[in-house]
Amino acid sequence: MLITAAFLAIAVFLLALKLLVKGDARGPMTHIGASKAMRERGIHCVESMDAIERHQLQNRKKIL
pLDDT tens string 23-60: 766 666 677 777 788 888 888 788 888 888 888 888 87
| Residue-level pLDDT at 7 | 97
> Is residue 25 situated within a structural domain?
no
Q: Is residue 53 part of a domain?
A: yes
The 8-class DSSP code of residue 29 comes to -
Per the structure, the complete domain to which residue 42 belongs is given by: 31-64
This prediction has a pTM of 0.39
Residue 34 to residue 25: CA distance in whole angstroms: 17
| Residue 36 resides in a domain | yes
pLDDT of residue 40: 87
Q: Does residue 35 sit within a domain? A: yes
- In the chain, the number of structural domains is 1
Give the CB-side neighbour count of residue 42, counting CA atoms within 13 A.
1
